[in-house]
Structures are given as structure tokens and as C-alpha cells.
């Protein structure tokens, strides 16, 4: 197995010892640091490096060591897809694999003797997750993780409401909210924010290893493992998000869907819809900058489903609680990604504080 191994300064010596030991057992130890026991460092930094190896599929599992093992296990369990067990004996280590499916072993260098740590690591590495009732229970744990949210579009979890809080997104969003921002700047920034949102949403896209020849030598690199995507803007404001997304994912196909509100029934009616033929095989991202009442977004998603769409997510710059509620109640399996969740709708159906009418501000029609 490929094992990501990381430690802070307190766990450094134990990491060095265990690295050799697990390689002796026939595994490959991927050392993510820290690389000295002299300098005091922060355990979450090294924890994250190891967890990223695991969630990206570059490592099969991980071993994390700090003074007590507590900091490392708490930090690791914040990461979607990581199940860390802090173990102080061989029995717990084995059962944490067999029953709980732990994929990270946390150890305390100041609380566990080096010889015992080796035995714990061996017991943990030799054990495999069991099926049956344990599988059912692990699935329930995974469901809890899904409900708690997180910007991980690749865990297979659905129905999350994720607010993307990256500082660059929040900074640019404040500029587009400003009523004095020009049409040109507004348009450019909506594209930029959409790109940044997609960058966050896709942080765990699956990769495959490839051979690369550099001018100096041959090496291993990574390539995206061929996921099929479709971006579907809801006309007209959704159009303002498409270019920013395509800049990052140029091979995505683009569908279009246009809806108007029937003046008699007040229900959304689609007046235009053109989707990629293979929509059912694609991860579909419906884009609409403002999720206000949720009527159009929910109707667009229903229409895409009728035409065969299966895995659908909604990406909006700003969402109102009313819109989230509407989409979540009609399409509970749809992930909703937003840069901000605002407080409410006003009597005219505008999001408060919002940014006004995104379509008018994008196209200068007001
Ligand atoms: C570092 O002194 C220590 O606090 C850390 O290694 C760890 O025990 C935290 O949980």
C-alpha cells in the first residue's frame, strides 16, 4: 500500500522510525513532512498534506503523529472522506479498520512507546474493513458527513448546501454587490467568481497518473480522469457565468434553458431548451447567479431531469433561504453551491442585501 505519513515536531522521530518499519513490511511510505524535530510547527498543516494525498487517491491511507495524536485525529476528521482513529493499542487499531474503516491511524509520540507504535501500525495495516453490519454503519457515518456539507463534488454525496467562502470569492462578491460597479466590471467579476467557484467545487476531481517527458527527463504527472460535464445557464442571467467556467473546463458541453413566468398561473414555463444529447451521462451544473424564490431553478432542474439528467448541481452567486428551501424540497438530491447565503427576499422578490437584478446589471438593460 501507499501510505501518506506526516507528523509535527513532536511526532517527527516516531515518523522517521515508522517510515523504515512500514517499508520493511512491504509498503511505500510517502513522507509529507515535517522534516525536522527541531522547529515547532503546526500539526494541521502536515495533517492536511497527508489527507490530500488520500482524498486525491495518490495514497491508500495515512499515518499521522503528533505529541498526543489528538490534534492530528481531530484535524484529519474535519476532511471529507477521512476517517481517523487515534489508537493506543493493537486491538483498537485492528478494530478501527475492520469495523470503522479508518483510513488514517493517528498516534501520540509522547504517549505511546516506539515499539508499541510499530505493533499498532502493523496491526492496523494488516486489517481490512469488514462488510455486513459494519458496512451499513459506515454508510450511516458517511451520510452524516454528507449532511454536514463541504465543497467536495467527488465524494458521491448529494443534496448538500455549500457556501464557498474562499477570500477571493468573498472579496469579488462585495464589489459586484456595490451598486456603483460598472456594467463591464460587473460582467468581468461575475465570470471571475464563477471560475473561482468551480475551482473550489472541483478540488477533488479524480486524477490518473500519466507519463510526461520534460526537456530534462521523463517523469510521472497527472491528468483529469475524464469526467463528462455540462454547464446549463438559465437564460438570461446564467449566461454571465458560462465563460468563467469554460475558461477552467474548456471541454464541458453547454446547454441552455429559458423560462418565463406564465402571467395567469404564475408558474415557470420553458420557452427554450437545448441540452447535450448525452445529458444523462454528464455531471450537470445549472448556473443562475441569483437563487431568489427558487421557482426558475427548480423548474429548470425538473426539465433537465425529464430530458434524462441524473446528476445535477446548482451554482448561484447569491442564494436566499427561500430559494434554497424550494430547490431542496423539490430536488433533495441536488447540490447547491453559492458564494453567499443572504438573509431574505423583499416584497418585490429581490434578494436582501443581494446585488439587484443580475441580468440587468450584466447586460446594462437598466
Ligand atoms: C505540540 O506540542 C503538541 O501540542 C502537538 O504535537 C499535539 O500533541 C497536539 O495535539
Tell how far the Cα of 85 is from the centroid of ligand 1, in angstroms: 16
Tell how far the Cα of 48 is from the centroid of ligand 1, in angstroms: 15
| CB-based contact 134:101 (threshold 8 Å) | yes
**Alpha-carbon span 30 to 28, nearest angstrom:** 6
Residues facing residue 152 across a β-bridge: none
66 lines ligand 1 (CB under 6 A): yes
Tell how far the Cα of 41 is from the centroid of ligand 1, in angstroms: 9
Catalytic residue among 265, 270, 293, 344: 265
50 lines ligand 1 (CB under 6 A): no
pTM score over 0.75: no
Mean pLDDT of 299-313: 90
**Would the pLDDT of 149 be above 60?**
no
**Would the pLDDT of 154 be above 50?**
no
Report the residue among 7, 68, 74, 86 best suited for mutation to probe ligand 1: largest number of ligand atoms under 8 A from its CB: 68
181 is catalytic: no
How distant, in Å, are the alpha carbons of 109, 138, 288 from that of 291? 50, 34, 7
Tell how far the Cα of 365 is from the centroid of ligand 1, in angstroms: 58
282 is catalytic: no
Q: Which three cell numbers stand for residue 145?
A: 458527513
Residues facing residue 344 across a β-bridge: 352
Q: How does residue 144 score in pLDDT terms, banded at 50, 70 and 90?
A: confident
67 lines ligand 1 (CB under 6 A): yes
Which one of 160-164, 202-206, 311-315 scores highest in mean pLDDT? 311-315
Residue with the smallest CA separation from ligand 1 atom 8 is 67
Mean pLDDT of 347-351: 88
Specify the pLDDT at position 40.
96
Specify the pLDDT at position 257.
95
Residue with the smallest CA separation from ligand 1 atom 4 is 67
| CB-based contact 101:133 (threshold 8 Å) | no
Query: CB count, 10 Å around CB of 3?
Result: 26
The helix (H) or strand (E) run that includes residue 98 is helix 90-98
74 lines ligand 1 (CB under 6 A): no
Q: What is the pLDDT of residues 221-237, one digit of tens each?
A: 888 776 789 999 999 89
Q: Which three cell numbers stand for residue 360?
A: 440587468
360 is catalytic: yes
Q: How does residue 266 score in pLDDT terms, banded at 50, 70 and 90?
A: low
**Alpha-carbon span 242 to 254, nearest angstrom:** 8
**Alpha-carbon span 110 to 302, nearest angstrom:** 56
**Would the pLDDT of 142 be above 90?**
no
Amino acid at each position: 500500500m501507499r501510505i501518506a505519513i506526516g507528523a509535527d515536531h513532536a511526532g517527527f522521530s516516531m515518523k522517521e522510525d515508522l517510515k523504515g518499519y512500514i517499508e520493511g513490511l512491504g509498503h511505500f511510505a510517502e513522507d509529507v513532512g515535517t522534516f525536522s524535530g527541531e522547529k515547532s510547527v503546526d500539526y494541521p498543516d502536515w495533517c492536511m498534506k497527508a489527507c490530500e494525498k488520500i482524498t486525491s487517491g495518490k495514497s491508500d491511507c495515512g499515518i499521522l503523529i503528533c505529541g498526543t495524536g489528538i490534534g492530528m485525529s481531530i484535524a484529519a476528521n474535519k476532511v471529507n472522506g477521512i476517517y481517523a482513529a487515534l489508537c493506543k493499542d493493537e486491538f483498537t487499531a485492528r478494530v478501527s479498520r475492520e469495523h470503522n474503516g479508518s483510513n488514517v491511524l493517528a498516534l501520540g509520540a509522547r504517549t505511546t512507546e516506539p515499539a508499541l507504535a510499530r505493533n499498532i501500525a502493523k496491526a492496523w495495516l494488516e486489517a481490512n474493513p469488514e462488510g455486513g453490519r459494519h458496512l451499513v454503519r459506515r454508510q450511516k457515518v458517511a451520510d452524516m458527513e454528507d449532511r454536514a456539507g463541504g465543497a467536495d463534488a467527488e465524494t458521491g454525496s448529494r443534496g448538500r448546501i455549500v457556501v464557498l467562502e474562499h477570500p477571493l470569492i468573498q472579496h469579488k462578491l462585495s464589489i459586484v454587490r456595490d451598486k456603483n460597479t460598472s456594467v463591464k466590471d460587473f460582467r468581468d467579476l461575475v465570470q471571475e467568481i464563477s471560475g473561482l467557484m468551480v475551482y473550489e467545487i472541483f478540488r477533488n476531481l479524480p486524477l490518473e497518473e500519466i507519463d510526461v517527458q520534460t526537456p530534462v527527463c521523463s517523469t510521472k504527472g497527472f491528468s483529469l480522469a475524464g469526467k463528462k460535464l455540462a454547464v446549463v445557464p438559465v437564460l438570461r442571467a446564467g449566461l454571465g457565468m458560462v465563460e468563467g467556467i469554460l475558461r477552467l473546463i474548456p471541454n464541458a458541453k453547454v446547454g441552455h434553458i429559458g423560462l418565463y413566468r406564465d402571467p395567469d398561473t404564475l408558474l415557470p414555463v420553458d420557452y427554450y431548451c437545448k441540452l447535450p444529447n448525452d445529458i444523462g451521462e454528464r455531471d450537470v451544473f445549472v448556473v443562475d447567479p441569483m437563487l431568489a424564490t427558487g421557482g426558475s431553478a427548480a423548474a429548470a432542474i425538473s426539465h433537465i431531469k425529464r430530458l434524462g439528467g441524473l446528476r445535477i448541481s446548482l451554482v448561484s452567486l447569491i442564494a436566499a433561504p427561500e430559494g434554497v428551501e424550494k430547490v431542496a424540497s423539490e430536488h433533495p438530491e441536488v447540490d447547491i453551491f453559492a458564494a453567499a447565503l443572504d438573509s431574505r427576499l423583499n416584497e418585490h422578490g429581490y434578494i436582501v442585501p443581494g446585488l439587484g437584478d443580475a441580468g440587468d446589471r450584466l447586460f446594462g438593460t437598466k
